[in-house]
Amino acid sequence: MNNVTIAICNYNYERYLAAAIDSALAQDYPATKVMVVDDGSTDGSRAIIESYGERVQAVFKSNGGQVSAYNHAIELIDTEYVIFLDSDDVLYPSAVSEVMRLFESGAWAKVQFRLDVMDSEGARTGASVPNSEPPQDCGKLLRAGWLYPSPPASGNAYRVSALKQIFPVPEEGINRYGADFYAIYGVALTGPIATVRKSLGGYRVHNAGGDTVSFANSEQLTKAPRAFSMRWAILRNIARDRLDIQLAPTFLDFSLEKATFCSHVYHARLFSRWRWMLRDSRSYLHTIVANPFWGPKKKLGTLVLSSLCLVPYSPLSDFAVRYIANPLARRRAAGR
Phi-psi domain of 178 (left: phi exceeds 0; alpha: psi -120 through 50; beta: other)? left
Give, rounded to a whole angstrom, the gap between the first and last alpha carbons of the chain. Answer: 48
Helix, strand, coil distribution of the chain in percent, nearest 5: 45, 20, 40
Question: What is the residue extent of each domain of the chain?
Answer: 4-243, 254-334
Q: How far apart are CA 157 and CA 153, in angstroms?
A: 9
Q: Which of 33-42, 169-178, 245-254, 292-301 has the lowest mean pLDDT?
A: 169-178
More confident residue, 289 or 332: 289
Summarised one tens digit per residue, pLDDT across range 254-292 is 988 998 999 899 999 999 999 999 999 999 999 999 999
pLDDT digits (tens, 9 = 90+) for 12-43: 999 999 999 999 999 999 999 999 999 999 99
Q: Is the pLDDT of residue 333 over 80?
A: no
What kind of fold does domain 4-243 have according to CATH?
Spore Coat Polysaccharide Biosynthesis Protein SpsA; Chain A (3.90.550)
Considering only residues 209 and 3, tell me which one the structure prediction assigns the higher pLDDT: 3
| Average pLDDT over every residue of 190-206 | 95
> Residue 214 — pLDDT band, cuts 50, 70, 90?
low
pLDDT score for 328: 82
Identify the pLDDT of residue 335.
52
Percent of the residues in the chain that have a pLDDT greater than 90, as a whole number? 81
pLDDT of 210 reads 57
- Which residue did the predictor score with more confidence, 327 or 36? 36
Task: State the Cα–Cα distance between residues 328 and 77, nearest whole angstrom.
Answer: 36
User: For residue 224, what pLDDT is reported?
Assistant: 65
The span from the CA of 235 to the CA of 67, in Å, is 13
Give the global pTM.
0.93
Bridge partners of 10?
Answer: 38
Longest dimension (CA), the chain: 62
Give the pLDDT confidence score for residue 226 in this predicted structure: 75
Q: Which of 53, 57, 58, 5 lies closest to 27 in space, CA to CA?
A: 5
Question: Is the pLDDT reported for residue 162 higher than 90?
Answer: yes
The pLDDT value given to residue 327: 81
- CB count within 10 Å of CB 28 equals 12
Whether 144 contacts 98, CB under 8 Å: no
Q: Three-state SS for 92?
A: coil
